[in-house]
Homo-oligomer: A and B are copies of this chain.
Amino acid sequence: MTKIPYKTYLSENELPKAWYNVRADMKEQHAPMLHPGTLQPVSVADLEPVFCTELAKQELDETNRYIEIPEEIRNFYKMYRPSPLVRAYCLEEALGTPAHIYYKFEGNNTSGSHKLNSAIAQAYYAKEQGLKSLTTETGAGQWGTALSMACGYFGLDLRVYMVKVSAQQKPYRKAVMETYGATVIPSPSDTTEAGRKILAEFPDTNGSLGCAISEAVEAAVATDKCRYVLGSVLNQVLLHQSIIGLESKAAMEKLEEYPDVIIGCAGGGSNLGGLIAPFMGDKLTGKANPYFIAVEPASCPSLTRGVYGYDFCDTGKVTPLAKMYTLGSGFMPSSNHAGGLRYHGMSPIVSKLYHDGYLDEARAVEQTKVFEAATQFAKVEGILPAPESAHAIRVAIDEALACKETGEEKTILFGLTGTGYFDMAAYMAFHEGSMADYIPTDAELQKGFAGMPKID
Contacts and interface: CB of A to CB of B under 8 A. Distances in A.
A110 B179 contact: no
A111 B380 CA distance: 13
A153 B377 CA distance: 11
A175 B1 contact: no
Contacts of A4: 75-76, 78-79
A384 interface: yes
Interface centre among A108, A380, A424 (most CB of B within 10 A): A424
A424 B176 contact: yes
The A contact surface, by secondary structure, is helix
Interface string A9-27: 0000000000000000000
Interface in A56-113: 71-72, 75-76, 78-79, 90, 107-108, 110-112
A192 interface: no
Contacts of A380: 152-153
Given A108-B108, A149-B382, A378-B179, A79 B427 contact: no
A88 B176 CA distance: 21
Interface residues of A, number: 44
A257 to B, nearest CB: 19
A149 B419 CA distance: 15
A158 to B, nearest CB: 12
Given A78-B4, A108-B108, A422-B421, A152 B428 contact: no
Contact of A384 (B107, B179, B378, B427): B179
Contacts of A175: 424, 427-428, 431
Given A181-B379, A379-B181, A383-B110, A79 B5 contact: yes
A269 to B, nearest CB: 26
A425 interface: yes
A5 B152 CA distance: 13
A5 B176 CA distance: 20
B110 A384 contact: yes
A180 interface: yes
A5 B76 CA distance: 9
Interface string A413-433: 000000101101101100100
Contacts of A428: 171-172, 175
A181 to B, nearest CB: 5
A38 interface: no
A178 interface: yes
A438 interface: no
Contact of A152 (B76, B78, B379): B379
Given A79-B382, A153-B380, A176-B424, 18 more contacts: A1-B71, A1-B75, A2-B153, A2-B154, A4-B78, A4-B79, A5-B79, A112-B421, A152-B378, A152-B379, A152-B380, A153-B382, A172-B425, A172-B428, A175-B428, A176-B384, A179-B375, A179-B379
